[in-house]
Amino acid sequence: MENTPDRLKQITYGLITFTLSYLILWYGSFIFIPLTWGIFFAFALFPVSHWLEENRFPRGLAIFTTLVIFTVSIVGVLFLVINQMVNLLAEIPEIGEIFQTKLSSYLVDIEKMTGIAIIQDDPTSLFSNWISGENINQTLFNTGKSITLIGIIPLFIFLLLYYRDFFVAFLLQASERSNEKILTWVGDSGKIIHQYLIGMFKVTGIVTVLSGAFFYFMDIKYYLLFALFIAVMNLIPYIGVIISSLLVILYVFLTTDTLFYPLLTLGVLWGIQLVENNLITPVVVGSKVQINVLAVILAILLGGSLWGVSGMVLSIPLVGILKITLDRIPTFRPYGYLLGDDFPIHEKQENFFKIFKRKLFKK
């Protein structure tokens, strides 16, 4: 009981530190979001830049060449997507009318079946409000802000890669007694970031091809836009795929005359998600970021409240880095264990899934 006041002080200091850190990240999001993306992409692009340097390119030219290749690839994809997005936005009024017609028809059918009056003055006011001018202006403002942030990221990438030796020297000077541990931590963090970004880039490409091929054979007009939308939203675990799938299914529902195609779209997207979660991601990304589902969901919610979509996407590798940091500090090692997915599940009897898995792998 003698250590109770000291324990309370530690908890108080921890809560104060967490609160101050949250507020700093919240109010400084305009700086920290592009900086964090810059750090992540710097780790991801470092092998290309380093290879060019080994082939007698000056460091500045090597980094610039790497950024040009990366930027041209991204801009090429964005050009195709934005072209389809503009055409889709032009069709919103027509889609809204179709939505109103179908919704009214279904509500009338429900009234006839149940005898309960459902239709009020305007059954589609929610959709009308959603596509109102105010919401569109807010969307355009947020898009412009995002483009500004994206424009700063290449500058951060260049500077971080160019001054990387300077940052390593700083870390060595700041930790004279544990240089080896610091360098190991930086190396492991870099591996997590590199493996996660490169792996998710490959997964995004595979999901884009699979969903794009399905949308193309379904004769969906904006198949490339929806395929890339599904793949990018898939970067947000659990939440992103639900939102993107619902929007695509809604579009298919509004542009077809039968429920077969929306249901088929639901089934195919669900199948792609199962294949991606259980086969593609484990093989391509690997199990380097070993975080349990509860920690992932909490990280997504916390990241979303801080930095929006960027926070949701970045939350997984950031929690992975937090875990390896906690694992290296003896005092905080239990908290690192709490974030991981290596934990026992005690069951009275072996469940049928484990029996099937054991027999399958024995073969």
pLDDT of residue 294: 83
**For residues 245 and 151, what is the distance between their CA atoms, to the nearest angstrom?**
29
Between 269 and 341, whose confidence is greater? 269
Confidence of residue 106 (pLDDT cuts 50, 70, 90): low
Identify the weakest region by mean pLDDT among 146-155, 180-189, 253-262, 339-348: 339-348
6 has pLDDT over 80:
no
In a domain, 3, yes or no: no
In a domain, 194, yes or no: no
pLDDT of residue 2: 47
Note whether 162 and 63 are within 8 A (CB): yes
363 has pLDDT over 50:
no
Amino acid (1-letter code) at residue 329? I
Note whether 153 and 147 are within 8 A (CB): no
Q: How many domains are there within the chain?
A: 1
In a domain, 306, yes or no: yes
pLDDT of residue 231: 86
pLDDT above 70 coverage of the chain, percent: 76
In a domain, 299, yes or no: yes
Q: What contacts 324, CB < 8 A, 6 or more positions away? A: 185, 188, 189, 192, 336
In a domain, 73, yes or no: no
13: left (phi over 0), alpha (psi -120 to 50) or beta: alpha
Average pLDDT, whole number, for the chain?
A: 77
In a domain, 250, yes or no: no
* C-alpha torsion 15→18→21→26, nearest 10: -110
Question: Dihedrals φ, ψ of 106, to 5°?
Answer: -65, -35
Give start and end residues of each alpha helix (H) in 257-308.
260-275, 281-284, 293-307
In a domain, 273, yes or no: no
Distances from the Cα of 91 to the Cαs of 82, 139, 219, 258, in angstroms? Answer: 14, 17, 17, 20
Identify the weakest region by mean pLDDT among 46-60, 137-151, 221-235: 137-151
**HSE (side-chain half, CA atoms, 13 Å) at 207:** 33
- 333 is in which domain, residue-wise? 289-345
In a domain, 257, yes or no: no
68 has pLDDT over 90:
yes
Note whether 265 and 249 are within 8 A (CB): yes
> Structure pTM?
0.71
Residue 118 neighbours by CB distance under 10 Å: 11
Mean pLDDT confidence for 23-32: 87
pLDDT of residue 252: 85
251-305 pLDDT, tens digit each: 888 888 778 888 898 898 888 888 877 777 666 665 555 677 788 888 888 888 8
